[in-house]
Amino acid sequence: MTDKDADAQRVRELDQTEPRKVGKRWVVGVSREARRLKLSTEQYYAKWKDGIKNSGLSPALRDSVLSNMDFNSFYGLGVIVIVIPPQKELSYVGDNLFWREGDATSLAVHPRQIAALARRF
């Protein structure tokens, strides 16, 4: 996905892929990436799942992500859809705690911020 017309145009030129406009963004898909890697979309999707399985995500978050992943062909572009339901405990990547504010993800670094996040659960 891209939010810039220029990036969508670049994908069009480099990958001979026709992006689809959805709202203010362009869907460029992952099928073009799979082709460049000489993988089927199934193999490419499996690489994503393996990457998440072997990531530093805390176990509850990792399992939640894996059980809520899907592939949608979306006009042949290929989109990996990941829905992350509300969590019942703090989520980490390695030893780092992250939090969401709107559509941004930030590293929690200040003790008061970390304590406030812990109180949510």
pLDDT digits (tens, 9 = 90+) for 22-81: 999 999 999 999 999 999 999 999 999 999 999 999 999 999 999 999 999 999 999 999
Q: Hey, how many other C-beta atoms are within 10 angstroms of the C-beta on 3?
A: 10
On the 0-12 / 13-18 / 19+ scale of CB atoms within 10 A, 28 is: buried
Arithmetic mean of pLDDT, 19-24: 93
pLDDT at 86 (0 to 100): 85
How far CA 28 is from CA of 64, 92, 114, in Å, comes to 26, 30, 36
Start-to-end C-alpha separation, the chain: 33
Domain boundaries, the chain: 5-89, 90-121
Beta bridge partners of 25: 22
